[in-house]
Every structure is written in C-alpha cells, then in structure tokens.
Structure 1
C-alpha cells in the first residue's frame, strides 16, 4: 500500500495542487471547484480505492466539493478547512505559507508537563485562538508548561465542546481557522509552553457527517454511545486506519503540536493482528526522527489497563500517558460529602493511598458501578505515565449545574485538593480558571441547526441526569446563554480569595519544579502513611538524598501524624494555615514550628496541608 500521508486531504507538490479522496466502493468521483472559479473535473481511481487529480496554476484559497454520487456534492472528509461551516465547501490550505518562529523549540520533557485544559470558546470573551495569546504570559508565570486544548475540529455552528467534530483535521472556522491556531501554537512556544490538542477518533459528529457517503468508515460489528463504531478492523479498514494514523502525523507536521489527548480510546475497537496503535507507533517513531522533537499521545481510557502505556512489543498501545480517573474519584469523594452519590465505589482512605502508590484503584476488584471485576494493577508503571486532576471538562460539565470544585467545597478543601495533585507522583492538570478558584459554571452547549437534533440532545441530557437523581433539569444546551454563562472571568484572579488561590497554586508549582523528590516518578520511592482521615505522602529523590513529607488532613477536626524516620530532621516549607494563605489575612491557629524531628508527633488542623523537607542540619535545642 502506498505512503498515505499525502493522501490526507489536498496538498501542494511541485507547484501542483493534488486532490485525493478515499472511496473504495465508488465507481466514479468528480471534483467541483466552486471558487474562485467554477470547474468540474473527473478523478481517476487507483487500486487502493483512492480517487485523485492534479491541478496546475492553483493558488489558495480554493474552495471545492466532491461528488461521490450524481447530484450529491459534499465537503471533503479530509478537509483542512471549512470556512462556511460543516455544510459549506472545503478549502485548500497551503501550510507552507505560514511563517513559524519556533525553529529552536524542542518540546517539554514529559516529566515536566503541567497541563492546563482550555476550551477556546469560553476561555476569553472573544472565544478565539488570537484572544488566548495575551494570556499566555500569565499562564507561563503561574508555572503551567503545557496547554491542553479541547477539540478544535470543525463542528456545526459556533458553540460546542468540540466532541461533535465532523471534520477531524479541519480547524474550527469560528475560532480562527488554521492560521489562527498556528499563531496560538507559535506564540505558546515563544512562552515556553507545549500545546496538546484533544482529538476524537472514536466517532464523527452528527450534523454534517458525510463520511459514510464516501466509504466504509463505520462498522456494525461494534456499537458505541454514538452509534456504529469507526471501522478499524472490518472490511476496507485499511483506509480508515490510514486516515486516523495520518491525522496524528498531520497535526504533528503542519501545526507543530507537541502531542494529542485521544478521547475515549476504549471505544476504538480493533481485533486485527497488527493493531491500530502498532501502526501509529511505527509512524510516530519515524516522524519523531524526522522532526527531532518528542510527540506525546495521551489517552482517555476507561479500561484501567496498563497496556495503554506499555510497548507494542508486549501487546501494549505504546502511548505516553493516560488520564487517571480513579485518582480524581478517590480524592473528590473524601473532600465532598455528597461525592459518594456520584461515585459509590469510592470513599475509603485506603483507596486514596492506593491511588498515590499504585495508580489504578480498581485493579481487579468487583465494582458496583460496573457489576463486575474491573481493571488490572498499574503498580509497576512510572508515575509520569498518568495524568491526574481535580477538575476537567467532563467532571464539571457533566454535572447538572456545571459546578466547579470551588462551588462544591470550601476554600480550605480547594487548597488541599490543589496540593494533592501538584505534590503527587503524577503529571498534574488544571482546568481553566482552577488556579484562581473560578466559580462560573461550565455547562454542556451546542449550536446545531437541525431542530430534530437539538431536541434529541435536550432529551438525551435530561435522561442522562435522571440516573444521578438530580433535583433539577440541566440548562438547554442550545441556548446561547448556557454558553455565555460558561465563560470564565480572568480578572477575578487579581483580587481577594481568587488571588490567594492563584498564589497558592504558584507556590505549589514552584515547589514541584524545585524539589528533587517531586521530580521522581518511581513508585518504589512513594509511601503513604494513613492516620484516620489524615495521611503523610512520603517522597524521595532518585538518589535518595532528598525527601519530602506532605501531610494532609481531610477531616474538619485536628489530626495527629508522625514524620517519617528515614531522615533525622525535617524543615517546614509550606503550611496552608499560615496567614498568607487565608483570604482575610488571618491564621486558623498558631503556625507549626519551622523544624521538627523524625517520629515527632505533629498536630494538623482540620483540612490542612503542611509540607516538610529533609533537613541535614542539626536542630537547635
């Protein structure tokens, strides 16, 4: 089979524009040029089911449709840009015209990734790529090292989470299109920020979906929550595998992205002898050699399987990391007394301890939610193969009121939650606004034009929330006010409790970057000592020379803990009860002493966090 990289949408080659489309079961195909002039061209088909044609004297922007059946003109499934939306013509993009300024950019080492999830439409009042750029400096100064951008693939209308994307490699027109996205990525690199894009390979959005009109992109062998699964192992699946594996290379090459977060990989079914992920691994290795910088693939997976990040040689998927939902569930249920209504299989301190020392909490145990055993042990995996969070678009947006953690728990618990992920042996992720305690809701929103689809979305959301026993109905996803209410207020971070929370996050991130123990992701160097509803997270540097004792009290009452015996002396470096970490400038109690001995009993105030580091100097008596 030929190298299909150049078959993923139209491209330029030797001053010619080459148009290619996969339609293996079609006998003919026409290319309709609609702007700047109108022209109809018959396309030739090769043995692999690809129709193609070459045009000379073509300059972008050129707009076009394909005609797979007589009288049926449709956009390109591999469109690079849809300037008039999902129902309009596709547009030729000359990626070579963009003048990148990031020639020296080499990406961020995986161990140094601190993610910040952004929804483009609600992160700024304007809701565009260009509007994000002025905020990059502040994010970099906060300590963020990687933007994680929710999907930007073309969706119907101008308001959507992005998971209804219809053209996987066409950048949303209302956000700023291909050039706008490139400007954002280029600017992020100038500020030392990596950019990870969230992509969806498990389904195609409902409105404007024309993939089945071209070829067997879907299969009836498997079902997903969105209908028939993408065809990764059935008849004609070579073309589908080529499409999505080359989509990864497309983002890497043409947009200088630093990685992708791949949505719900557990709904990408493939029982072939050579898996889709093996194909991706081989292509990615070759591309990384060519481009000279790492490219991270991060999975959202419901499998609780270590195979996701294990090498393909041992049957793994060879992805760089995966989201660790179990960590979120284990911590959240202990912070919010109402949390167990949502996560009934969680609520024990031992589960949080296991989340820190192993990773997966459910590693073969019986799970009530699933009514079966679930998961496998991840104890041997390096911590930097997991991403942890207190909030993300799902955890907030899939609540009926779109409540953030700042609305669900008090200020002290918010501080505790921040410390829990930023001092963890995992890669932490913040949801936009979390660093200053944003309290605006984040709802689910759409802007479809099909009335029947709008009705189905509304009814579907209501039915989904019925299972949780909510006492109110979700806001209408199609209502523009639902979208407007979801926008964050960036100026909150400058004053009051929001500024205190921002400084708290900055301090934790600075500590994470500076202390050698927090840069060690080996599970053997992580210990958790429980004391009722309190615990000590004990971490060591790889050379064992530096240690840290992170002391947490999750209850409202004082708790007693003991410092580890491995080092004789300990020095306090952070105390959430100190005056500077309270919005009114007061302290809850007298500050703990700056120095302590090993095995010394320490009393932690309710919902407090205290961090000690090993101190080799003798203590004064």
Structure 2
C-alpha cells in the first residue's frame, strides 16, 4: 500500500518552497508568509491545496488562511516558535551529523532510561540533556526514551496532549537542538527512542477538524473522538500518522518509537493501522535495526508475534505493567485499586517474570472482564520491565516515588530482580540514585480548560482508593511542574546507590546479555511458597536461576552451587535467605 505522493509539510527546493495542505472541506485556501505576502493555493484532486513560492526560504514564518478568515498553522509544521496557535517556521532538515556511521544497537543490549526533557534538567532543554549523557553512559544505560515531544500548548506538560505531530515543542529548544541531542547520544553509544501519541490529539490547538475529516464518527477514546483510520478520508489520516513515524526515525535518526496506548487505537479496516505502520517504518529504514514498543493495557500478545527466525512481525516489545505491579506490591504492601488483583502470593511474581503477563485471558476483577492473551511462547525480550515510570509515579495524588516512604532494602531487592531478569529493563530518571523527587502530572492549557483538567484529574485519582483526591497537587500550577524537576545533587549525595545500580547493570552486560541472543528458543518455569520466589530460564545452553525472598522474615531454603552465583544481595546462608535477599545464578548445560 503506497503512501500519499504529496509529502506532508513544506518541500524546500533550490529556488522555491512548495506548500501543501489537505483541506477537503474547503474550495479555497490562502498561504500567508510573514513579511512576504499572500498567495491563493491551487486546489487539486482529493482535497489537496498546493502552491510553490519562489524566494521562500528556511526561517520564514507562514500560516494557511481558511475562507472564514481563520489562520491555522501547518498540521505538519516542523517548528512552532510561538507555540501551537502561532505561525509555522520553515526548517532546513539538513544537519552535520558527527556520529557516522550509526548502525544502531541490537534489542537484547537495551537498558532504557525514560526521561521528561523539561524535568530532566533545571534548564529543561535538549542541549542541557546532552550534559548528562556521560553520567548515563557510565551507569550502563544503552538507550534513552524521551516522553512525547510533539508540540503541545503552553509552557510545560507531559506531552500526551500534543497537537502538531511533526514539531518538537519549542519549550525544549529548536529541531537542530534535538538532532544534536540524538547525535551526542549516539556518540556515547546510546540509542534514542521517542514516545509518540497516535490515539488522539490534545484539546487545545488542534485545527485539523476545521478543514479535514480527522476524527472518526464511530470510534471513541478516553480522551474524546478517535482518529479516522477506517472511514471516509481515512487514507490521508493513515498517511499522516505513518509518515510522522518515518519522519522521526529518518530525519532525527531515532532508533525506535514507543507508541502510547495502542489499545485506544480503533481501526476496523484491514490492515490495521498498527500493522501498516510497523511494516512501512521498517521498509523505509532498513539499513539499521528499528525497534517499536507498544503500550497496551489489553495485554494483546498478538502484537508481539515473532516469525520463524524469532524476529518481531510488528512490535519488538511492550511495556509490561504486570511486572511493575507485582514488584510494587512486594516492596510497598499497597493493594488498593488495580493492585489488589496482583496481590496474594509470590506465584504472580513468578509468572510475570517467567511468562510476561500475569493475566493471560483470566478474569480481572478490577476491570470486570477478562484481560490479556497467552504470552508463554514469547521470548522475555518481548517485554519491557520497570519498577518506576511516568505513569506509575504521576498517577498518584502527590506524584510520590516508592523511595519516599518505603524501606531501601525492599527497593534494592526488586531492583536486583528486574535489572538482571531477561526482560528489557527501563529506569525512570533519577531512580539510579534513589531519588525522592516527585513526578506529579502537570500541564499548561488554555484558561477555559483548567477546571475541566482539574475535574478530570480528580475523577481519575478517585478510581484508585488509597489517595485523597483533595490532597492532589494542582496540575495547572507552575509550582507542580517545578516540583518535578530532577535534583541532580542527589546523584552526588547518594553515590553508593548509584554504584549499586552501576554494579547490577555491569553484571547484566557481562552475564545476561550474552544469553539473550539465544532467547528465541527459551523456556521458563517458576515456583513460590508465598514468600520465596524461584524462577528458572533456559536460553540456549544457559540456565539462569533466580531465588528471592521478598518478605521481612528469613526463609529456609537450599542455596545453589556457589560457583554459579553471579549476584548475592542480602543476608544469604547455605540453607537460608534473609529478609529481602536476592540470589542470581547462571550455569551452562
């Protein structure tokens, strides 16, 4: 299936710039270039409007004027210097890349570090983030995952209410600054993933409905009408999204994408937009490995299917909330809301580690219906595991982390589990020094939306008993955003904790990563007596074994041969594991 012959966004030529806009709801559209003039665009077939302007050049600011006088930015704008309601800027896509060549990294080597650009450093810019890359390299990080960058309204936000999918938000810097960050990361051997949102547009600054059938008449999402992937005019919408994915990977050299909430992407046509996107992205960038990660609350294992050679057909992996939930309960004892369905015994921890999903088609009381599909046949690298991320911290009334109120021994124990398990680990910024800096939800939308956002936030928190919604931080206040700023002095004050994470990741690099090359033929089994969790993975000729006591009391057990032990964390004797003790061993057949 071919993409549209008309590329989205301005096309820069030697002596002119060509502009195009898909506006099938109007017969006439005018292009306005500041300080240059206005031009009537020619209406082409299928609702396209096009004009070529000699003398236009990068740096020019432009808008499209609809027949009712409304001026709108380019939906494929490459940069919005004055935010989402202002004019678009023509951007020269050429860049003097210094890391040549960059061939990417194989998936099994990934240790991901999720960051919010605005809160990662005090300055909150692309260029400021470059200064911290050496810290990440020394830690053992091999990939960073940037929370959404597509231009969103206001001075700060999580990025999931973006409205201009091709424009990096100006609060972080210019597009060339983002390219510099990617280039610098590659120079450190660090891959770069971008979080993208293809299930909805934000409520402030999306002008597409004024001139195009961008929304579906039949599909809904938790955030409003779904995108039109299968109705009249859907070819444009599909092309717009697919080209956006290719754009980030090709023009910014991203190593892959994390697709937000794919369970909310509804499409009754064939092929499904997710299948077409995965196929087209890999066709467009075949010279290096491209990794696609899904967030999928439905735990649909079909999206993670492998071919006969063990290669991902669509998505490389998905975020595995199940692993987070079982380890979170073990460390904190919290069993409210959806956590209740993951509590009870260590068997659920074992299943999450050995098989991926805890719920593989069973009834989930919190949802009131079945959840998930069988995942036992998937390799462990089909799952991204974590004990912190933006959602699991931010969707708490105060945005507090586990470290703020729970024993450090428990935190270190679950870190020793997920950082050495065969799944792909992901840290959240500051986790490596035990940061207690909160990461609450924050946004800066138009005034008329403020009360709607506040009410929606309280309703969301009310679904999680254990939080007093009246204590929740105001998501609109700038002080809430300021609280989320990572305090880097913690990396110095808590150097022993950083060194602990560095040790775990060095052990992973030495012992675990070589095993993962054989993960296609893996098998796993687990056992638990309630407190003691035992998991065994067989990957090729390697046998990896975990024993963990995730309780505050000692457990009698038989410890395996000492010569095979690669990590001994906590009080461990030949016949006993002390509280919060973790033992990893690796043997060869």
Same fold (TM over 0.5): yes
Aligned to 1:405: 402
Kindly state the Cα deviation for residue 443 of structure 1 after the two structures are TM-superposed.
Answer: 0.7
State the Cα distance separating 1:111 from its structure 2 match: 0.9
Q: 1:310 to 1:70 in 2, by over 3 A?
A: same
Q: Is the 8 A contact 2:379 2:522 kept in 1?
A: no
The answer to whether structure 1 residue 373 and structure 2 residue 346 are counterparts is: no
Matching residue of 2:546: 550
Q: Residue 44 of structure 2 is aligned with which of 43, 46, 50?
A: 46
Going from structure 1 to structure 2, the CA distance change for 1:413 and 1:6 (only over 3 Å counts) comes to farther
Measure, in 1, the Cα distance between the counterparts of 2:337 and 2:269: 40
Moved over 6 A (4+): none
Deviation at 1:340, TM superposition (A): 4.0
2:13 counterpart residue number: 13
What runs of 5+ residues in structure 2 fail to find an aligned partner?
none
Distance 1:118 1:201, change over 3 A: same
Instruction: Note the C-alpha offset of 1:559.
Output: 0.8
2:341 partner SS: coil
Deviation at 1:26, TM superposition (A): 1.8
- TM normalised by structure 1 equals 0.90
Contact 1:116-1:432 within 8 A present in 2 as well: yes
Whether contact under 8 Å (1:312, 1:318) holds in the other structure is no
The corresponding residue for 1:298 is 293
- Aligned counterpart, 1:23: 23
* 2:492 paired residue among 487, 491, 494: 494
Alignment check: 8 A CA contact 2:144 2:191 kept: yes
Q: Structure 2 vs 1, CA of residues 311 and 541 (structure 1 numbering), >3 Å: closer, same or farther?
A: closer
What's the CA shift string for 1:206-242, capped at 9, x where partnerless? 1111110120010120111111101100111000000
Aligned counterparts of 1:183 and 1:446: Cα–Cα separation in 2: 26
Aligned to 2:329: 333
Match of 1:310 in 2: 305
Match of 1:345 among 341, 346, 357: 341
Q: 1:503 corresponds to which residue?
A: 499
Q: Deviations over 1:413-457 (max 9, x none)?
A: 111111121121211100000111100100111112x22201111
Q: Name the SS of the counterpart of 2:274 in structure 1.
A: helix
CA contact (8 A) 2:250 2:285 kept: no
Structure 2 CA distance for aligned equivalents of residues 271 and 612 of structure 1: 47
Q: Distance in 1 between matches of 2:255 and 2:565?
A: 37
Aligned partners of 1:573 and 1:225: how far apart in 2?
45
Structure 1: how far apart are the matches of 2:347 and 2:585?
22
1:163 to 156, 160, 164: 160
1:619 corresponds to which residue? none
Question: Which stretch of structure 1 is more off in the superposition, 472-481 or 108-117?
Answer: 472-481
Instruction: Say if 2:111 and 2:141, in contact at 8 Å, map to a contact too.
Output: yes
Q: Secondary structure at the match of 2:45?
A: coil
Residue 583 of structure 1: aligned partner? none
Deviation at 1:129, TM superposition (A): 0.6
2:579 corresponds in structure 1 to 606
d(CA) in 2 for partners of 1:615, 1:67: 69
Local SS of the residue matching 2:414: helix
Determine if contact 1:153/1:162 at 8 Å carries over to the other structure: yes
Instruction: Summarize deviations over 1:169-218 as a string: whole Å, max 9, x none.
Output: 10111100211111110100000000000011111111111110120010
The alpha-carbon deviation at position 45 of structure 1 amounts to 2.2
Ranked by relative contact order (alpha carbons within 8 Å, sequence separation 6 or more), the top structure is 2
Q: 1:499 to 1:523 in 2, by over 3 A?
A: farther
Q: Is the 8 A contact 2:354 2:536 kept in 1?
A: no
Retained in 1: the 8 A contact 2:474–2:480?
Answer: yes
After superposition, residues 365-444 of structure 1 pair within 5 angstroms as: 365-444=362-441
CA contact (8 A) 2:347 2:526 kept: no
1:443-482 paired onto structure 2 within 5 Å:
443-448=440-445, 450-469=446-465, 470-471=467-468, 472-482=470-480
Deviations 1:330-389 (A, max 9, x none): 221222112344412111311111111211111111110111122110110111111111
Query: Any conservation in 1 of the 2:145–2:192 contact (CA below 8 Å)?
Result: yes
Judging changes above 3 Å, is the alpha-carbon distance between structure 1 residues 483 and 408 closer, same or farther for their aligned structure 2 residues? same
Q: Does 1:278 align with 2:275?
A: yes
Alignment: residue pair count: 581
Partners of 1:552 and 1:610 within 8 A in 2? yes
Q: Deviations over 1:555-587 (max 9, x none)?
A: 1000123346xxx6634333223xxxxxxxxxx
* Distance of 1:380 and 1:58 partners within structure 2: 56
Q: Which moved more, 1:189-198 or 1:220-229?
A: 220-229
Judge conservation of contact 1:358–1:523 (CA < 8 Å) in 2: no
Report which stretch shifted further, 328-337 or 528-537: 528-537
- State the Cα distance separating 1:3 from its structure 2 match: 4.4
State the 1:32 CA deviation. Answer: 0.8
The 1-side partners of 2:416 and 2:525 are apart by: 16
Q: 3-state SS of the aligned residue for 2:471?
A: coil
**Matching of residues 168-317 of structure 1 within 5 Å:** 168-289=165-286, 292-310=287-305
Q: Is the 8 A contact 2:354 2:535 kept in 1?
A: no
Q: Which residue of 1 aligns with 2:103?
A: 106
Partner Cα distance (1:395, 1:170) in 2:
27
- Preserved contact between residue 307 and residue 317 of structure 1 (Cα < 8 Å): no
SS of residue matched to 2:66: strand
Change (3 A) 1:90 1:317: farther
Q: TM-score, normalised by structure 2?
A: 0.94
Q: Secondary structure of 1:278's match?
A: helix
Name the SS for the 1:606 alignment partner. Answer: coil
Q: 1:14 to 1:278 in 2, by over 3 A?
A: farther
